[in-house]
Amino acid sequence: MTEKQITYTTLEEIRLHKEKLREDIRSHNEQISMLWTEITAPQKANSKGEFAANLLMNTITAIDGFILVRKLIKNYGFLFRRNKNK
User: DSSP string spanning 12-23?
Assistant: HHHHHHHHHHHH
pLDDT digits over 39-52, tens only?
A: 888 778 789 998 89
- What's the confidence (pLDDT) of residue 46? 86
Contacts of 37 (CB under 8 A, 6+ apart): none
Express each pLDDT in 55-83 by its tens digit: 899 899 999 999 999 999 999 888 877 66
pLDDT higher than threshold 70 for residue 32: yes
> How many alpha carbons fall within 13 Å on the CB side of residue 65?
6
Given this model, what pLDDT does residue 86 score? 52
Q: CA 33, CA 27: separation in Å to the nearest integer? A: 10
